[in-house]
Amino acid sequence: MTKAIAVAGAVMFVVVLVLSAGLSPLCALCVPLITGTLAGFLTGVWEREPGTVVRRGATAGAIVGAIAVVAQIGASLINAAILQDPDLQLNQALGLPPTEGALVWAAQLGVACFVGLVNVGLTAGLGAAGGALWKSTSGKALTPAAPTGM
């Protein structure tokens, strides 16, 4: 499970940080579709325990989601620092007055925490799904056959 967390966590950290800082904090909601399933599937690949792979996949997914929270908060700090300049705010393009600095910080961190918590739930569920996917494809070959003739 540690290898799966390291691989999927690194992928999720980098992708969430880049997407959230570069585009929008809401872009991070798409990342768990890949990384959560990846964490669960890799848990099965490397641990090869069909009986516990779904539970351990969900655990790996939740940990990867927690790593994404750190990246999401880092991206929101970058965004809030950039948006302190009123000329870079979307309000200017819409002809609205600029947003106060404290409100920018509060909004960025609030959205980051909300999206981060949603990511933890999504990656945990998709980690379980990835573990179940591994179990249904590769895990069946590892389960011992029941004795016959008793």
pLDDT digits over 3-33, tens only? Answer: 777 888 788 788 877 877 777 666 667 777 7
Backbone phi, then psi, for 144, in 5-degree steps? Answer: -70, 145
pTM: 0.75
Q: What is the mean pLDDT of the chain?
A: 80
Percentage of the chain exceeding pLDDT 70: 89
